Structure 1
Amino acid sequence: MTSSGQLVRAGFVDGTSAAAGIERLGAAARPLTDKLAAAADPDAALEGLLRVVDALDSISDGAGAAMLAELADDEGTAMRLCSVLGASAALTQHLARHPEHWRELTDPTLGSTRAAAYAVREAMLAAVGADPASAVPVAGKPDAEAVDALRVEYRRILLRLAARDLAHHVGVDDAAAEISDLAAATLEAALAVARARVESYDAARLAVIAMGKCGGHELNYVSDVDVIFVHEAADGAEDGAALRAATQLASHLMRICSDHTREGTIWPVDANLRPEGSQGPLTRTLASHQGYYEKWAKTWEFQALLKARPVAGDLALGRAYVEMIEPLVWSAAERDGFVGDVQAMRRRVVDNIPAAEADRQIKLGSGGLRDVEFAVQLLQLVHGRADASLRSGATLSALAALIDGGYVGREDGEKLHEAYSFLRTLEHRVQLHQLRRTHVLPADEASLRRLGRSLGLYSEPAVQLDKQWRYHRREVRRLHEKLFYRPLLGAVAKLPGPEARLSLEAAEARLAALGYADPKAALRHLEVLTSGVSRTSDIQRTLLPVLLEWFADSPDPDAGLFGFRRISESLGRTPWYLTMLRDEGEVAQRLAHVLGTSRYATDLLEREPQGVKMLGESLVPLSAEAALAEMKALTERAETAEAAIVAVRGVRRRELLRIACGDLVAGTDVALVGQGLSRLTDATLQAALDIASYAVRTSRGLESDPARLAVIAMGRYGGFELSYGSDADVMFVFEAVEGAEAQAASSFATAVVAEVRRLLSLPASDPPLEVDPDLRPEGKNGPMVRTVESYAAYYEKWSHVWEFQALLRADPVAGDAGLRARFTELIDPLRFPATGISRDDVVEVRRIKARVDNERLPRGADRQTHLKLGRGGLADVEWTVQLLQMQHAGSVPGLRTPQTLPALSAAAEASLISAEDAETLAEAWRLVSRVRNAVTLVRGKPADQLPRDAQERAAVARVLGYPQGSSDQMVNDYLRTTRRAHAVVERVFWE
């Protein structure tokens, strides 16, 4: 005898009652106890088994004991019966009413064989007294008896199906397909009963089209069965008679399934997905359906039709209906706002969930089944227009096709499949208990324990169930957001259906129409990218139709496609590359814009293809400290100076790409671009200085450096105003450390500077950093590096006003902090004289400016459009600001800055220049600086002339934010802005 404590440890909750019940099983107790204990609810399984025994005994004395004896000898049947009794109170009730049905579970094929759909149909028709061959009622069976028989037969087959599901774990998709087949057979049988009620039923051909889950072969245990009715007049029948007969048949069919009788009910049949919903006629002809869908149907109706499937009645008519709607369904994504409509509809569903259910909704809630279904259906409708392999009504089958076709990543697809299967199984178990239509996870401990055990969770089932439920919901929500709101979807949906997936046959004409200058060359690139049957080629065929459109929107589509090919050849087999472009449409669109606009950025991407990842990240320039920290971390692992500088230049190359991409796609302000480039140069020079110092010290066998060095930024670099093509104008200063000989310190400093310049000029796969020291005292003839004292002596004896002007932009940026501070103390009184510069010096500055304007303008250059030396160009604005600084910085602290715009603002605040004139100069400086940067980005190399080439000029206009075809407007704006600035310069600088 088993004790109550042992039974509790085995899984029973009420050990005392369980022990009494087990004792009633007699000789069958020992072999059946383990089977009962393995059930989802052992106590309910035992109670249900005893109810079935009692029911059998009430029919025939001893029948219950005979059943127990058979169960004791048949482990498979015992397992199936106990599984059903422990999971479904409703099926237990059915067995108590029809105890003979327990024998259905003795079928040894239940574990391995799914009942054929036609066999289920024949059984249901036979139960209601209809001819299985014709589905026509056979006289003799009363209507009420047929309706009850329909319910009993439905439960009998459902009992077998539930046993397969619970005991043999057939899989949620197989179980749902079986339930769908049973529903289809039930509809056929109900239609047969309806024919017996409608005298003139043969006046109409009526087809029943399953929608929703039944149409998709994924019905729940208990769910409304969504249908649409379509009819045609039978031969010789009038249209009015056919409509009346079809309407009566459809109405009776719905009542037969949903009415409550002594044998219960089956499920409601819902026809509200029909045209015009509940306000529309219950059934329509094929032509009437077509007219409605072509003129009036809304987006959601086409989404619903995705699962339409003929299941009962005139199947030939049903197939004609599906053939009629198919082209409409698979072109629905081309409707204006289609993707947004579907997304908005999903949000409305979530918003309308009662607050009390929101966190426990398996179907409709955030992270629930609807999130998976909507994401899959949206992908199907957008991509299925051109790829027939995606046109499946079943969610899991469609998801598998999306994975196979490269539309969904394998890892994402597997997680989504796993989560959907778990949620559907959980939903089935919740509904199976009472055979009630519910999608809400119960909150009570007993129900959660039963559900958890039904899913195979026997250790802390309620806790483990809650953990898995929350994990899968979280994954579904994450993947839903990723797939359902994928930016690429909206772009693909806008393409005409045949062009949504690349076909090389039609590609050449398409390329020419999009504006590619060399369609044949572009076609060769496409052939390389899409040839073969690999997953990479599949994803490329999905991406390229949209990318081709985006390239076509850029100034140079051919260059964009060619650049994409080169980068894809570098990264095509890298797991993240195409997945990122497919799943993060903003990255793909940014990449297309960059490749079709900027040779500079394209060259960087080809050298640094991993930089594609950056397009999905922040494009704000790094600080000098962050860049330097990364450079130092990399150089610590380098064995040679050459290897170390390669690592430093690699970081610089990547950050140049970040700044360029931020300029191109995020509209980074031109001042921030200059600051970002300057800070990056600071970090590069500091890292190079450290590497060079170590290399020279090591090569000379020194234990420590005999000199301290500092780097002084000059020119636009000193002003934090570097452009993409700027050299790094610098001066070098050193001082001997205590105890070191002056000659040794000088020799060391000179060698370090030479090594810095050598390392930064080594051939490498990044834009060169030209370190230009020509602004040092005595220019090219002077020593490369001097002490602070040497600089002081030179400036005291020999310097000219232009050198003091150059010092306005001097900014110590690298090297020893103390030495940098001392150099600043030396030059501040020189560049910011307390009493300003003399009138003669002002005349000299103007004379030098006139000479620069006349002599340095390149031959053939257009003075109106030369960016640096043209009228109202950079030199005009900067010389004007610098003259004001030299005249007034001694008394106006705000002018003591190397930066042009802050100095200009300070001059306006001190009323040295009117606010209006200051704004005019600032606007010109910003515009010309932007144009200069844009020219370098477009051409891939620096230039100081507004491009004359029409394509380059158009590209510059696009970089500046002008719409396509606005090159002339850009030029006019440039000329107007610089003309106004030049007028201010004439007034402020020359008068």
Structure 2
Amino acid sequence: MFSLDNIPPQLHDTANMHIEHFNDSLARLELDFPENLQVISTLPKVFCCSEFVAQTCKRQPQFMLDLINSGDLFSADVRGSYKSQLSIYTFQNEAELMKILRQFRNQQMLRIAWRDLAGWSELDETLSDLTTLAESCIQFTLDYLYQQACNRRGIPVLFDGTEQGLVILGMGKLGAWELNYSSDIDLIFAYQQDGVLTDRKETSYGEFFSRICRQLVKILDEITADGFVFRTDIRLRPFGDSGPVIMTFDGLENYYQTQAREWERYAMVKVRAVAGDTRGGEKFMELIKPFVYRRYLDYGAFEELRSLKQQITQELQRKDRMDNVKLGPGGIREIEFIGQAFQLIRGGQDVALQERRIQHILVLLGEKELISAEDSQQLLSSYRFLRRVENHIQEFQDRQAHDLPKSERDQTILAFSLGYEGWDSFKAALDQVRMQVHNVFKEVFSMPDSAAQSPSTSTEIWMGLDHEDSSLNRLAKLGYRKPEQIYSLLNQFKNTSAIKRLTSKGASNLDKLVPKMIDMLAKEKNAYVTLQRLSALFENLAGRNVYLALLVENEKALQQLITLASASPWISKYLSTYPALFDELLDTRSLYEPLDKVALQQQLAQLIENIELADTEQMMIALRKFKHINVLRVAAADIMGAVPLMVVSDYLSYIAEVILEQAVKIAWHILAEKHGIPPDTSDEKMRFGILGFGKLGGIELSYSSDLDLIFIYDYPDSYALTDGGKKITSAQFYATLGQRIRSLLNTQMLSGMAYEIDMRLRPNGDSGLLVSDLNSYENYLKDQAWTWEHQALVRGRFITGDKETQTKYEAIRHRILCLTRNEAELKQKVCEMREKMRETLDKSDKQSFSLKQGIGGITDIEFIVQFCVLAWAEKSPSLTTYTDNMRLLDTLAEQKLLSQEYVSALKQAYCIFRDRGHKEALQENKAFAAQDELVEIRQQVADIWQVLMT
């Protein structure tokens, strides 16, 4: 009945033996085997490839017949029925329960192995089946033991009187829904709150639950005549074998926050409540997140996982087990470590990476460009290949084995089970997969090819600074022109109090980092100055080991840092102030390519989408982080000459605009939650707006600019009440809205302010209302405003708010700028204001020229433009279209109000002065030039001023 045509000849005897034993069992029990072609055609192969399946069918042939007759053997999804299948069993005691569970488990393991070896199931089905089987057996056992314990001693309750259950946490592959065929299950037991039962002995909850846990482990793990259910390991619990079997949530939280070792953190990446109290499990998952996923980018995870991997490799070498598909080079564990490293480093900031399933993580790593798309796909296919190999090794005898078989027969069986013609072809494919995996692993973890490497020259310099002569010789050998200066600076740095206070882990990272830095600096022209800047930066970072670890693990990031620090002291100080930005050094593309406004809007929206509206502090942190990241990108691109001046100002202005847009939305929703909103308003129709003046209005922001703002609202009834629970008038609502927005932006936090907000341009300055009614604002501008306030209005741009308010404001601005003015009086007032400013602010002297306030400088150009607009807008209304000086000058030329010669000179001067100002700022210098610089262009501006303004 059974054909051996597809079985390798050398395995015929094995197949025949198993088939014969099976037939004998059928005959002895007078059972008929169904004539099912699917089963008949696959039985020889399955029996040949799994002694466990063959022996189970021999001992319990009814198992096989039941699976065939019920159709379960052919079904890809019976996982949902495990619990219902178990629920039909009745038993009187633990011994009967143990027998039922083992027989049920053996039958299902027979089914799972058969489908896998016959080629009927995909890997994901096998892993999911095994996981669900384990969960069902755990839950079924727990339900029985918990009920028995409650019947004897009473029901444990929470403080609020509700029933309290046991929480069973699955670790490793069980937690990740990836259980392999003959895996043990790693469990941790927990319960929410301590207490005492009402039985005669006043049993503590801890004792009550501990007994259940011990009984559960015994029922699942103990080997009987029927075998076992699942090998159960509870050594991953706090304090391991010496720790209590179960702990309260408070006890667990305290342990993981204060005493847990690094490997326990890695283990928690895959933790999941697999049975017991569902709500309690959800609470535990929230409790453990801060331990597993740090808010910062934790690059120390690379070193920890690398060290763990080296320990595993050394143990395998000692036992001559390098052909281990799980732990050996290029094995499953290396793939898991790659995924875990990025999860641990970035999971605190990227919630998507808080994923237990390694296959999903590998896809995400490619999508997020944390590894190449090619490596992502290769690791995914390699993982699936290796997991199939692992399952087939274990399905052979239902043993927890990961080593490749040694005997020729067993090798032939494994190769045949996986569809290969022979051992050689399988081994070649396996070796190729493992080599590819190990290459990616070495690349990600920077693993050395040889454990025994001689220390580099730069390492000898750093470690041997006590020996001055040899250190100087080595520095000279590396190419340093003034080794004495470098030596002195390194020695001084090494002996600073901050460096001496480093933890052992921090010192270890520094001992790896500085030699790399010494090597790279040898190629820099201004090595000494750059080393000074970096030394100061690392002193500030000394207590933050994670950033040192980032640079140790990423030579490209270190090179970026050196390049930028060499070019600008501002950059190194900015990073020192906001070290969370170090991650930006990793990606050259994003670092030197600032985002356009649409991309900025999308980035900020993504950054805050998972923050609760009520969590104002986290919202403010996110706004500041967004600003710092993107200002760094602009500065890096500016320093390296990747973007021109006008684009730098555009980008800096876009960053502010996007933050203001989001601040308005956040503040509006916070107030709406508390007070409701005024009638006839909505998210799209707020009747509110923010006006930007000065550099923001003129789209000319610099790196350290504050924001000159005015808040306006256009609501007809100041006394109308909001529609929420805690009603306030519309006037109060808009005033509070303005306060909230300002608070979101200029509250001083550890990460600084988002922006310093200057609102002195509002009607009546500091004594005026924070938020101006739009009609009142127009009346003020028309009847009370000073000439300098009309000058400011030239650059008064609507930044954010609803379209209707924007339209009304722009009409008001147009009307005010187009007012009839006496040109002579206007010129006099503008000149008087310019002289006042020059007396107070111009710090030019015989040696230096103030680019902004000096004669023929930036402010002179701005005043010329403002005068022209105020004087001539009545007859040339197009002068009110733009708010930036460059386009205003172009309009003056187009309207033939200024000669093209004047406009070209003013534009050229404006760009030169502003570009020089930006560059000086990045060198931490004030915006000055030497008096013998830019003489001709300054004189041109001064001459034009004389012609137009006198």
Query: TM-score category by the smaller chain?
Result: 0.3 to 0.5
Larger radius of gyration: 1
Normalising by structure 2, report the TM-score.
Answer: 0.48
Normalising by structure 1, report the TM-score.
Answer: 0.46
